[in-house]
A and B are shown apart, each in its own frame.
Chain A
């Protein structure tokens, strides 16, 4: 067994000092060590996007990032951003559009969509589809999700 490695990481604004096995990826650390179960694990090799979280202000694949690589960094998970404006708007739109059934993909979809809304406020429907191509969803078939994200982009343009 490899030695434990000490890390300091700020998760959803709260500082943590922990020791982790080097092989532990970031979402296992969040779920198992910190009890934050909002980030999901589907494929664990970077394909499905259910593990999408923010590290130092950018979305990343939590399953393709080692917990030790977050040492000294800032992590935001769905639990930490639910009260923020963009995520709340997206959550409302997902509900209104029925953009989820089983909900497994939803936290990753929301985290990915948040960065889109923040960075590309004028994205068109094609760009939304391209952006979320990194997140798999089976049960709603994407259209409702694209509708929900487009609704938020439109609302924020009108509100601006």
Chain B
């Protein structure tokens, strides 16, 4: 199908974007890489009066390290992240997750900020941001504020962003020498949305993990942490017994939503399989 008619504007500053959002409210939609918005426009699931193209704002680009955080600009593409040496060094979870996102042509266009702000519960970046304990930098009429990932994803496709705020970047604590991470997902076809996925980080001391953050995607209305499983594994030596307990705990604590082809029980089972594969028990023995 073809998109309905809309007006188009490409402002050069964040302040102008915010003014447009205040003026047009829900009639305006922000356009970055367009890999979600364009599909919904073409299918007429979305018919905004005004499309505000933010790709002319240079300050939204780039990936850099500022002190102890890795800052990923809203307009960094999935491909930028996949091949960034800074990401590989300071947030290797993202490099591991990137190839799972759609396909090359889409990764060349789609953006980090778009994925986080859209907050698809089956998408990779929201789960990774949560697993990394990062924060969203939002710019509104009163300036910038930071929202912890733990507080950002509030419901299905819903976030703590206000209607007149723009996601300008995310900040991720840089990985320490003891950083451990894992990413795994199951999809019918490479690049499809995951049936279920897991993103996890921790501090590793030999066979023991500390400060675990285990996040599931494709399971609930938002990316969700498996907090009981995190607690069970905290400070415990990883061996076949503790891994088996963790898998059982994960399956008991989640309450997956079904999708078109997978029942809650299927997803519950698969989540356990992914956790079992991910925990570094072989290397620990």
Residues on A facing B (Cβ under 8 Å) = 1-3, 5, 21-23, 25, 28, 44-46, 49, 52, 58-61, 63-66, 68-69, 112, 115-116, 129-131, 133-135
Contact = CB atoms under 8 A, between A and B. Distances in A.
B104 A131 contact: yes
Interface residues of B, number: 32
Contacts of A22: 5-8, 51
A90 to B, nearest CB: 16
Contacts, number: 96
A3 to B, nearest CB: 7
Nearest to B190: A133
Contacts of A23: 2-6, 41
Contacts of A25: 3, 38, 42
Contacts of A58: 79, 108
4 A-B pairs closest in CB distance: A134-B103, A22-B8, A64-B38, A45-B39
Contacts of B35: 46, 61, 64
A62 B106 CA distance: 10
B150 interface: no
B55 interface: yes
B107 to A, nearest CB: 9
A93 to B, nearest CB: 20
B103 A133 contact: yes
B38 A59 contact: no
Interface of B is mostly: loop
A4 B102 CA distance: 32
Contacts of B79: 58
Given A21-B5, A22-B8, A44-B42, A61 B105 contact: yes
Q: Which of B42, B51, B53: most chain A Cβ within 10 A?
A: B42
Contacts of A115: 104
B109 A60 contact: yes
Given A5-B8, A23-B3, A63 B103 contact: no
Contacts of B99: 130
A46 B1 contact: no
11 contacts: A25-B3, A28-B2, A46-B106, A58-B108, A61-B38, A64-B42, A66-B31, A112-B105, A131-B103, A133-B191, A134-B104
A66 B8 contact: yes
Interface in B40-59: 41-43, 51, 53, 55
A112 B7 CA distance: 32
A49 B39 CA distance: 13
Contacts of A116: 104
B38 A60 contact: no
A5 B42 CA distance: 19
A28 B42 CA distance: 12
Contacts of B4: 23
A46 to B, nearest CB: 5
Nearest to A126: B190
